[in-house]
Amino acid sequence: RNWIETSPTSKFQPEADRYHLYVAMACPWAHRTLMVRALKGLEDVITVTVVHPVWRKTKPDDVSDKHTGWVFGNPDAPPFKNTIGLGGPFPAAYEINQPDPHHEGTFSIR
């Protein structure tokens, strides 16, 4: 594993315009990257793009594609809503996002 560090022998130096984060504010893992970026003072080195916090079909014009995920929002378009009218990240429209009623273990944010 390689680390991003200022050491002269580091394979990956912290340089402006070299790294970019794509994050969703609804994702706890992405949120942690933003916290570390701020704590390490890397705001000037690592740029950020925030995706829309509502999961959508990633290929909306392809009826055979069932994949959903974070998408880039259009600031001029109406807000995304899921099938129950809320703006949450996991739309009920997609069966794969429904919890397994027989699952007895712990759950994690997908």
> Which residues are known catalytic residues?
27
Rounded CA-CA distance 89/81 in Å is 9
Eight-class DSSP state of 4: B
> Which helix (H) or strand (E) is 12 found in, with range?
none
Measured torsion, CA atoms of residues 93, 65, 25, 40, in degrees rounded to the nearest 10 = 160
**Can you spell out the DSSP letters for 57-102?**
ESSTT-TT---EEEE---TTSPPP--TTS---SS-TTSGGGSPPTT
